[in-house]
Amino acid sequence: MSIKRKKKMTCTLFRILAVASLCSSIINLTLLSICLSAGRWIFGDLLCQILAFLSHVLVAGAAWLVALAGLERYFKLVLPADHPCVFSDINTKLLVVGLYLLIAIILINPLYGWGEYSEYRGYFKLTVHTTRPNLTRHNYDVTASTLSPVPVSDLPPVGCDGNNRTHFMFPGDYNTTQLAEMFSKNLKINWNFFSRLLHITHESLVLALRAPNEENLENLLSENSEYTLGDELFHGAPKCQNNEYILCLEFMLNYTEVETYKKIFVPFQATNMCSVDFTTMNKGAWGWIAFFIASTGAAPYIMIAVCAILTFWKWSYIQFEHRNQDLVQSRKFFYGCLISVPLYFPYFIVNLSNYYGNYVSPTLNVFVMILYYGSNLLPCALLSPRYLCKTVERSSTSGSIRESETEDQEEFEMEIIPDNQL
């Protein structure tokens, strides 16, 4: 009875690992293929959050299952007496469920504002200054045609005061909060820009802008240089009918910042994949990035390394206590974990490099993501399919063990004593 339970336990853990790794790879690579084919994120903002959360839970879950399998191998080889109790069938399932719950709690933080899931990377700032000269029709007649751009040199001495800063005049009056909402809405409609309010006062506001691609970014810059940006941002806004107020606005862009954004961050987001944003605008960004890397990258592989080192340290002793096939398969598993390290961690390195303003080729970024999504398959792929998923039968007459075509005797030979030796 104990033999059957022990074999079922081992099979359960590695089957879960294989299925989890395979599902993680298939789902994420399918999403990546769809985004690359479409040239943009097509599933909307809500599904961006849900799918990015699911994506990283699957990848991190597979990484932690590999670590759990490494711990199981350590107990199997170094502490065989404790192995059946610690990694019983029910304990294994509880450990797996607990791991995924813990990972879900960790990775749900971006949904609450610590960190961010996004298809965009980086941002640049648009600063808007406003003045309200409270013109009346006795001072300056504001007509419907005033909605057209007004160059600085053509500003009248009365009204906007010829301050050489105003780029746009609008016959109406809005506070900066209303302007921020209106501008964000029209940026999304006209250029599919993502925007977020960073700073606001009674006379100015600062918006962080993220462009979906270089073409849309160039269109916005062209509108600004031709003094037509105000027309687009005020599109659909009602004008004052009594012409008693005029709103003077200045749109300011740091073109050095914009050029850096265009060369560094826009190419990097060309995968159009919604995932953890290392360049998030949310508060505590660095804390989240460090926590994300430590909990989903460093911690599971440190655990694997510790189990492997302790196992190989006692290899000279355990090799006489276990069958050669068991040792060979365990060695293959740990070697697979070692090989998966250079496949798993470039994802973090490339994203950190982009965060620090270094150019990363879009092709390299795609390649690194493919490695990241498929890296956890390697430890399972090196194991023999017959090694961990077999059954055992006992003959009722001779007391010997008979194997089926898919069984494995090594899990049991150390514990079974033939009847003639009892």
CA 324/CA 322 separation, integer angstroms = 6
210, β-bridge pairs: 194
Task: Tell which residue, 342, 341, 308, 323, has the closest CA to residue 387.
Answer: 323
Question: Per residue in 373-414, pLDDT tens?
Answer: 999 998 888 876 665 454 433 333 444 434 343 433 334 334
pLDDT given at position 276? 94
CA 41/CA 37 separation, integer angstroms = 10
Task: Tell which residue, 95, 97, 144, 118, has the closest CA to residue 46.
Answer: 118
pLDDT given at position 65? 94
pLDDT given at position 140? 38
| DSSP string of 333-392, one letter each residue | HHHHHHHHHHHHTHHHHHHHHHHTT----HHHHHHHHHHHHHGGGHHHHTS-TTTSS--E
Q: Is the CB of residue 10 less than 8 Å from the CB of residue 411?
A: yes
Residue ranges per structural domain of the chain: 1-68+79-119+273-335+352-360, 124-271, 390-422
pLDDT given at position 153? 40
pLDDT given at position 229? 87
Question: Per residue in 342-371, pLDDT tens?
Answer: 999 999 999 999 999 999 999 999 999 999
Instruction: Say which CATH topology domain 1-68+79-119+273-335+352-360 has.
Output: Rhopdopsin 7-helix transmembrane proteins (1.20.1070)
pLDDT given at position 280? 86
pLDDT given at position 347? 96
> Distance of CA 4 to CAs 1, 10, 85, 391, Å?
5, 10, 14, 7
Structure tokens at 206: 């600062």
DSSP, res 239: P
204, β-bridge pairs: 129
CA 380/CA 115 separation, integer angstroms = 32
Q: Is the CB of residue 303 less than 8 Å from the CB of residue 65?
A: no
CA 54/CA 44 separation, integer angstroms = 15
Question: What's the whole-model pTM score?
Answer: 0.81
> Distance of CA 35 to CAs 43, 131, 273, 275, Å?
9, 43, 6, 12
pLDDT given at position 15? 85
Q: Which residues of the chain have pLDDT under 70?
A: 1-11, 133-167, 239-245, 319-323, 384-422
CA 89/CA 7 separation, integer angstroms = 9
pLDDT given at position 160? 55
